Structure 1
Amino acid sequence: MTAHVIADDAEALAVAAGLAEAFRTEAPVRDAERRLPYAELEQLSASGLLGVTVPADHGGADVRQETLAEVFRLLASADASLAQIPQNHFVYVNVLRRQGTTEQRKFFFGEVLAGRRFGNAQSEAGTRHVQDIRTRLLPLPDGSHELTGVKHYSTGALFADWIPVLARAADDNLYVAYVPRDADGLTVVDDWDGMGQRTTASGTVRLDAVTVPADRVVPHHLTFRGPQLHGAVAQLLHAAIDAGIAGGALAEAAEFVRTKSRPWFESGVDTAAEDPLLIQRFGELDLQVRATEALLGVAARAVDAARDELTDASAAEASLAVAAAKAHTTATAVLVADALFEVSGTRAALDSLNLHRYWRDARTHTLHDPARWKIQHLGRHVLNGTRPPRHGLL
């Protein structure tokens, strides 16, 4: 596979905007028919967007997180499923940046710049909580490792070239093993049946005594022994996806009202777009979308500032700024996707139009992790000065 190498932030944004427009056209049909986006992901790989966070000394653009967040917002405004698929890709590029050896970074950053995709095998079902990881990485006599376990919600794995697997070693510490998609003993099952984000293929990964060379394993637990931005970067991209859904839903609602809605007979106007009550409601919704996009920008700049000078204080500020953005984008995505029907009227509920995909995507994606705990950490900090924990989910 060959891919274009993007030069800088401006080019990354231009490429993302072009892809978003291209992906928007068939998004309703892909969702309705659950048509998995293999061709679109090939376009994404070839565009070079997947390599934009590779460090400059390895040939990448090393874009700012503010740029990356905007890339995800643009893509999600067109197709939230497509935007969700590469989220884990960038998370696990970031793991290599932080904990990979010189040789690991050289090899995998080369793979990324060539357009190869990382999936994800992280979450497990039936455990006590999200951080109760039971997949095991056990040593073999020749110095390699053996992976055994079952993963769920494995977004991107079906489409991946490499699947990063989160596992615990014999010492119970967390490691990430980068496993090729076609490895012996690795099976990806397309059993995702969520009501929203239908084409993410967030199914099951089964690992049956998969052999992993030592140079494909990264000590992820070391990430959390000092100031870190692992969780802030991951959550920033989730927030960007929600902001994109909200903006996409608002734009869709406005287009529907302008072109398809009838005015309410009591309004005394000729078109629905002139109805003063609809104008008021659209103004309220636009205010929410503008606020959520502003918080996303503040959060992204806080992450960039912390990357430039990483300390306990800067990492905490970045996590809190992202927590605030994520809590707001969660509420806004669901609110605006629901209000789409309120302002558009009965015809908007026709299943054939598939306008409900915005609400289904918003409702599904915002379940990823609870906003109430983000608000809890904000409250603890403002009242007692308590810094957020280093658990990678904030």
Structure 2
Amino acid sequence: MSAHVIADDAEALAVAASLAAEFRPGASARDAGRRLPRAELDRMSASGLLAVTVPADHGGADVGARTLAEIFRLLATADASLAQIPQSHFAYVNVMRRQGTPEQREFFFAELLAGRRFGNAQSEAGTRHVQDIRTRLEPRPDGSYVLTGVKHYSTGALFADWIPVLARTGDDRLHVAYVPSGAPGLTVVDDWDGLGQRTTASGTVRLDGVPVPADRVLPHHLTFEGPQLHGALAQLLHAAIDTGIAAGALVEAAEFVRTKSRPWFESGVETAAEDPLLIQRFGELALCTKAAEALLREAARSVDAARADLSDDTAAEASVAVAAAKVQAARAAVEVSSALFEVSGTRSAADSLNLHRHWRDARTHTLHDPARWKIQHIGRFVLNGTRPPRHGLL
């Protein structure tokens, strides 16, 4: 595989905008038929977009958080599933940046620049909570490891060249094993049946005695032993996806009202777009979306500032800013995608139009982690100066 190498932030944003325009026309049909976007992901890989956070000293563009968030927002305005698939990819590029040895970074950054993709095998079903990871990484006499466990919600794994797997060693410390897609004992099952995000293939990964060389394992537990931006960056991308869903739904709602809706007979106007009550509602929805976009930009700025001067205080400020962006983005995505039908009328509910994909994507993606806990941490920080915890989900 070969890929273009993007030079800087400006080129990264131009490529993202171009790909979003290319992916938008087929998004509804892909969702309706659950056609997995392999060709589109290959285009994304070839464009170089998936390597934009590779450090400059390894040949990458090393773009900032604000650029990365805007990339995800742009992609999500076109196709929320396509935007969701590489979210974990970038989270695990960040793990490699922070915890990889020089040799590991040299190898994997070259893989990324060549267009290779990371998936994920993180979450597990049937455990006490999301942090209860039971997949085991057992050492062998030769210094290598064996992986055993079952993962769920493994977005990107079906399309990946490398699958980062969260697992615990005998001392219960958390590690990440980077496993090649064809490894013996590794099975990726396409059994995702979510009502939204239908083409992410976020199914099951089974690990049955998967061999892992020692140089493919990173000590992820060290990430959380000091100030860190792992959680803030990962959550920033989730916020960008929700913000993009809201923006995409708003554009489609406006187009429908302008071209397909009839005015309500009491309005006394010739077209639905002249109805003062609809105009008012669109203004409200635009404000909701613009608030999400503004908080997203502010959160990304905070992450970039913390990255330049990382401390307990700057990391906490970034996490709280991202939490605020994520809460507003989730609200905007659900409200705007639902209001699409309110402003468009009965005709918009036709299943053949598939306008409900925006709401299905929003409702599914916003369940990723509860906004109520983000609000709790914001309140603790503002009222009592309590820094948010370092668990990777803030």
How would you bin the TM-score normalised by the shorter chain?
A: over 0.9
Report the AA paired with residue 323 of structure 1: A
Asked if 1:153 corresponds to 2:153, the answer is yes
TM-score by structure 1 length? Answer: 1.00
Match of 2:17 in 1: 17
1:385 and 1:295 map into 2 onto residues whose CA distance is 21
2:385 and 2:361 map into 1 onto residues whose CA distance is 35
1:89 and 1:329 map into 2 onto residues whose CA distance is 21
Report the AA paired with residue 140 of structure 2: L
1:291 and 1:151 map into 2 onto residues whose CA distance is 36
Match of 1:232 in 2: 232
1:345 and 1:277 map into 2 onto residues whose CA distance is 13
TM-score by structure 2 length? Answer: 1.00
Report the AA paired with residue 229 of structure 1: L
Match of 1:303 in 2: 303
Deviation digits for residues 331-379 of structure 1 (CA, Å, limit 9, x no counterpart): 1100000000000000000000000000000000000000000000001
Asked if 1:83 corresponds to 2:83, the answer is yes
Deviation digits for residues 200-233 of structure 1 (CA, Å, limit 9, x no counterpart): 0000000000000000000000000000000000
Match of 2:333 in 1: 333
Deviation digits for residues 163-222 of structure 1 (CA, Å, limit 9, x no counterpart): 000000011000000000000000000000000000000000000000000000000000
Match of 1:119 in 2: 119
Match of 1:271 in 2: 271
SS in 1 for 2:179: strand
Match of 2:246 in 1: 246
1:383 and 1:300 map into 2 onto residues whose CA distance is 23
Match of 2:287 in 1: 287
1:143 and 1:381 map into 2 onto residues whose CA distance is 44
Deviation at 1:3, TM superposition (A): 0.3
Contiguous gaps of at least 5 residues in structure 1: none
Match of 1:319 in 2: 319
2:58 and 2:170 map into 1 onto residues whose CA distance is 33
2:106 and 2:169 map into 1 onto residues whose CA distance is 25
Report the AA paired with residue 197 of structure 2: Q
Match of 2:163 in 1: 163
1:60 and 1:260 map into 2 onto residues whose CA distance is 46
Report the AA paired with residue 245 of structure 1: I
Match of 2:144 in 1: 144
SS in 2 for 1:179: strand
2:69 and 2:225 map into 1 onto residues whose CA distance is 26
SS in 2 for 1:26: helix
Mapping for residues 210-229 of structure 1, pairs under 5 Å: 210-229=210-229
Asked if 1:37 corresponds to 2:7, the answer is no
Match of 2:99 in 1: 99
SS in 1 for 2:199: helix
SS in 2 for 1:14: helix
Match of 1:374 in 2: 374
Asked if 1:56 corresponds to 2:67, the answer is no
Match of 2:362 in 1: 362
Deviation at 1:57, TM superposition (A): 0.2
Report the AA paired with residue 170 of structure 1: G
1:114 and 1:375 map into 2 onto residues whose CA distance is 40
SS in 1 for 2:241: helix
Match of 2:384 in 1: 384
Deviation at 1:115, TM superposition (A): 0.5
1:30 and 1:282 map into 2 onto residues whose CA distance is 28
1:379 and 1:50 map into 2 onto residues whose CA distance is 35
SS in 2 for 1:210: strand
Deviation at 1:383, TM superposition (A): 1.1
SS in 2 for 1:383: helix
SS in 2 for 1:209: strand
How many residues align structurally? 394
1:378 and 1:142 map into 2 onto residues whose CA distance is 47
SS in 2 for 1:369: coil
SS in 2 for 1:200: coil
2:162 and 2:115 map into 1 onto residues whose CA distance is 11
1:33 and 1:382 map into 2 onto residues whose CA distance is 46
Deviation at 1:22, TM superposition (A): 0.5
Deviation digits for residues 128-178 of structure 1 (CA, Å, limit 9, x no counterpart): 000000000000011100000000000000000000000000110000000
Report the AA paired with residue 26 of structure 1: G
Deviation digits for residues 229-251 of structure 1 (CA, Å, limit 9, x no counterpart): 00000000000000000000000
Report the AA paired with residue 15 of structure 1: V
SS in 1 for 2:155: coil
Report the AA paired with residue 257 of structure 1: V
1:258 and 1:110 map into 2 onto residues whose CA distance is 48
SS in 1 for 2:128: coil
1:317 and 1:298 map into 2 onto residues whose CA distance is 11
Report the AA paired with residue 123 of structure 1: S
Report the AA paired with residue 242 of structure 2: D
SS in 1 for 2:379: helix
Report the AA paired with residue 181 of structure 2: R
Report the AA paired with residue 353 of structure 2: L
Deviation at 1:382, TM superposition (A): 1.1
Asked if 1:203 corresponds to 2:203, the answer is yes
Report the AA paired with residue 393 of structure 1: L
Mapping for residues 169-208 of structure 1, pairs under 5 Å: 169-208=169-208
